[in-house]
Amino acid sequence: MIINFEKNISKSFFILLLQPSLYLPVKSIVYFVITVVLFIPFSFSLNAQNTQGKDFWLTFGKNNNFFATNADLKIHIASGGKFTTGSIYFTHLGTLQEFEIEPQTVFTYTLTTAQKQAAYNTVMGITAFSIRIETDNPVTVYAMNVANAFMDATNILPVSTLGSKYRQISYTPYCFYFQVLDAYAVIATENGTTVEHNGGEPQTLNKGQVYYRTSATDMTGALITSTKPIAFFALNQTAQVPNGYEYGDPLIQQLAPVETWGTRFFVPVSSQGKNITRVVVSQDGTDINVPPGTTLLSPTGGQSTLTGLQAGQFVEFEVTVVNKGCYITSNKPVGVCTYLPSRAYTNSGDPAQCWLPALEQTTPAILIAPFVVPAYLTSHFALVSTPTVTKKNTKVSIGGALSDTLTGGIWVDNSTAGMSFYAMPLTNPSASYLIDNPAGVIVLCYGLGDYSSYYYLAGSAMRDLTAAFFVNDFHYLELPESFSCDDKIVFRAEIVGLSTIEGSLRWFINGQEEDDARDQLMWEKSLAKGVYDIEMRVRFENNDIVSYTSTLTVKGLWIKIKNVRY
C-alpha cells in the first residue's frame, strides 16, 4: 500500500485515518485511496521545514558606498509544478506588486527607484524598509544586490523556518577610500517584537519594521535575540576575504536561527580551488574537529585553538579542492559560513558569503532559480553535495523536463565525510531547476567573474535540530514510503544543546510506550508488515515537553496501491 500524507498542526494530538485499512496480494484487483491525516504537536508547519515556502520577508543593505539609486536590486522566484500567483508588498510604500508564474519557470522582478529607496538600508536604526512576498503555492525566493562590479546574492527563508535566536557571521569591513561598515538587519514578522544585541539595547519593532545595525568592526559572534520570530540578514558593506587580500565585495546572506545549527558539516569547494570557511560557536565548551592538514587561519577576532571554545567565538579555515573539501564535526551545535575569497587570493572572483547547513539538513529535492547575470560574470554553478554511495542517483529536471543525470562537471569524493560534491553549470535563467536524490542533497549556487562573484545557499532543509528522531538514518519528516520487513528497524534520538532529566525520553508505537526503550538514544525493533505511528517524547529541564511523531509503513511481499488498478 502507499500513503498519501496531508500534514497539519496541532499543539496536543494527532489523528490517523485509514480509508480503508487493508493489504492486498499482488494479483488482487481494486480501486481505492488510503489517506493519512497527521496532526503533529510541533511549532511550525512540516511542509515548510526547508527553504521552500509561501511567505517571505526580505530587506537590502548598503552595497559598498553606493546610494539606493545606484544599486540594481532584483528578486528571483522559482515555481514548481503548479501555476502560481503572488504579491510583493513594500511596507514603507504601502504598495503591492502582483505577479504570476508559469510552472517550472522563474519570475524576476527588478525594483523601481522608489521601491529601492524603500528597501535599502544605509543608516543604523529602525525603518519600515522591508518587502513581503506571498504566494499561493510553494516557491523558492532569492535576492541580489548589484552596484557596478560590487555584488552578492542570498536565498530568502520562509517565515515558518525563522527563529528568535541568531548569531552574526560576517567579516572585518574593508575601509579604503571611504568608510564601510559591518552590518546586519532584522525584520519583525509580528507586532510587539523586542530585539536585543548581546543582551542589551532593546529595540521594539512592529510587523514589517527593520532594525539595521552597523559597526566599524567585525560583529561575528554577536548574539541577537528576540521575543518573536525575526528574519536575520548579514549585510557587510564591503570586505576582503581573507583580510589583507586586495579587492573587496559586499557580503550578503540571510542566516538561519541557532536551533537549526548542527554538529556535522561538509564543505564543498568552488571552481576557484580554495575557499574560506568560518565556524561560530553557540555554546561554551565546544570542540571542533577538522581533518589533519587543514590550514587554520588567524583573522581579526578569530581563535587559534579548536578546543574549549566559548559561545560567540569563531575559527576560520582554508578549504581546498586538493583536499576534496572539508568534513567538520563538533561536540555542540555550530554555525558555518563558507566564502569565495578575494581575487588576489585565487586569481578570480571576489568575496561572497554563503550559509552552509549542517548535514542534518539534507533534503531529497531542492527547487532553485539560478542567477545568470551577464554583466561582470562569466560562469554560474550549482554546487551539489550528497552522500558518495548514492551520488549517481542525483538527478536534475530543468524547466519541467524529464530528470537526467548532472552534466558539465565531475564528482569530487571525500572519503572522510562519505560525501561528494559536483559543480553543475547553470545556463538557463528562465527555467527552474529541480535537483533531487532520495539520500538527500544540499545545494549552493555561485557565480564568478574577474572582479565579481556571488555565493548563496540555494536549498536545504531548515529543521529545528534541538530534538528529533531517525529511522534507519532517515529523518522522521522524510521517511520513505515503506521499509522492507526483512530490514532491521533502528530508531535513533538526537537531542542537541539541551539538558534532559532522568525518565525524560520515551518512545511510543501506536500509542503504547516501549518500556525497554526509555531514555535510550538508540534502540531497534523488528516490525511486521503494517502501518505504525511512532512518537518520541522529550522532557527538558525547564519541563517543556516536545513530541515528535511520524508514520512508518513496513511492507514485505505486499504491493503499494494508490488510485490505480491491478
Distance CA 281, CA 309 (A): 7
Judge contact between 96 and 208, C-beta under 8 A.
Answer: no
According to the model, what pLDDT value does residue 38 have?
30
pLDDT of residue 376: 85
The mean pLDDT of 329-353, rounded to a whole number, is: 94
Q: Which of 174-183, 454-463, 485-494 has the highest mean pLDDT?
A: 454-463
Distance, in Å, from the CA atom of 413 to the CA atom of 266, rounded to the nearest integer, reads: 11
Check residue 488 and give its pLDDT: 80
Give me the percent of the chain exceeding a pLDDT of 90: 70
**Average pLDDT in the 274-286 region?**
96
Give residue 54's pLDDT. Answer: 97
Least Cα distance to 365 among 276, 281, 433 occurs for 433
Q: Is 361 exposed, middle or buried (0-12, 13-18, 19+ CB in 10 A)?
A: buried
pLDDT (average), residues 340-355? 93
Q: Say what the pTM is.
A: 0.83
Amino acid identity of residue 141, one-letter, is: V
Q: Phi/psi of residue 259, each to 5°?
A: -65, -10
Longest dimension (CA), the chain: 78
pLDDT at 514 over 50: yes
3-state SS of 305-327 is CCCCECCCCEEEEEEECCCCCEE
Q: How far apart are the first and last CA of the chain?
A: 12
Query: Is the per-residue pLDDT at 4 higher than 70?
Result: no
pLDDT at 502 over 60: yes
DSSP-assigned letters across all residues of 327-354: EEEEEEEEEEEEEE--HHHHSS---EEE
Could you tell me if 106 and 429 are in contact, meaning their C-beta atoms sit under 8 angstroms apart?
yes
Question: How does pLDDT run across 110-159, given as a tens digit for each residue?
Answer: 999 999 999 999 999 999 999 999 999 999 999 999 999 999 999 999 99
- Contact by Cβ (8 Å): 446, 455: yes
User: Quick one: pLDDT at residue 2?
Assistant: 31
CB count, 10 Å around CB of 96? 11
Q: How far is it, in rounded angstroms, from Cα 250 to Cα 152? A: 6
Average pLDDT, the chain: 87
Q: Taking residues 184-198, what's their average pLDDT?
A: 98
Q: Facing residues of 264 across strands? A: 329
> Closest by alpha carbon to 475, among 491, 486, 460, 495?
491
pLDDT digits (tens, 9 = 90+) for 70-118: 999 999 999 999 999 999 999 999 999 999 999 999 999 999 999 999 9
| 94 contact partners, CB below 8 Å, separation of at least 6 | none
Q: 111: which 3 cell numbers? A: 525594483
Q: Which domains does the chain have, with CATH numbers?
A: 4-43+466-555 (2.60.40.10), 48-459 (no CATH)
- Closest to 273 (Cα-Cα) out of 228, 320, 313: 320
Question: Cα separation of 200 and 20, whole Å?
Answer: 58
Peptide bond into 242 cis (omega under 30): yes
CA distance 326 to 267: 5
pLDDT of residue 237: 97
Alpha helices in 27-154 (DSSP H): 113-117
Q: How far apart are CA 115 and CA 130, in angstroms?
A: 10
Mean per-residue pLDDT, 447-466: 92
- Number of C-beta neighbours around residue 206 at 10 A: 13
Query: Which residue would you say has higher pLDDT here, 422 or 42?
Result: 422
Predicted pLDDT of residue 498: 61
Report whether 375 contacts 408 (CB < 8 A). Answer: no
pLDDT single digits (tens) 6-57: 333 222 223 233 333 322 333 333 333 333 333 223 222 333 479 999 999 9
Q: pLDDT band for 556, please (50, 70, 90 cuts).
A: low
- pLDDT one-digit tens code per residue, 228-254: 999 999 999 999 999 989 889 999 999
pLDDT classification of 175: cutoffs 50, 70, 90 = confident
What is the radius of gyration, based on Cα positions, of the chain?
Answer: 24
- What is the SS3 assignment for 209? coil
pLDDT surpasses 70 at 280: yes
The model's confidence at residue 551, banded by pLDDT at 50, 70 and 90, is: confident
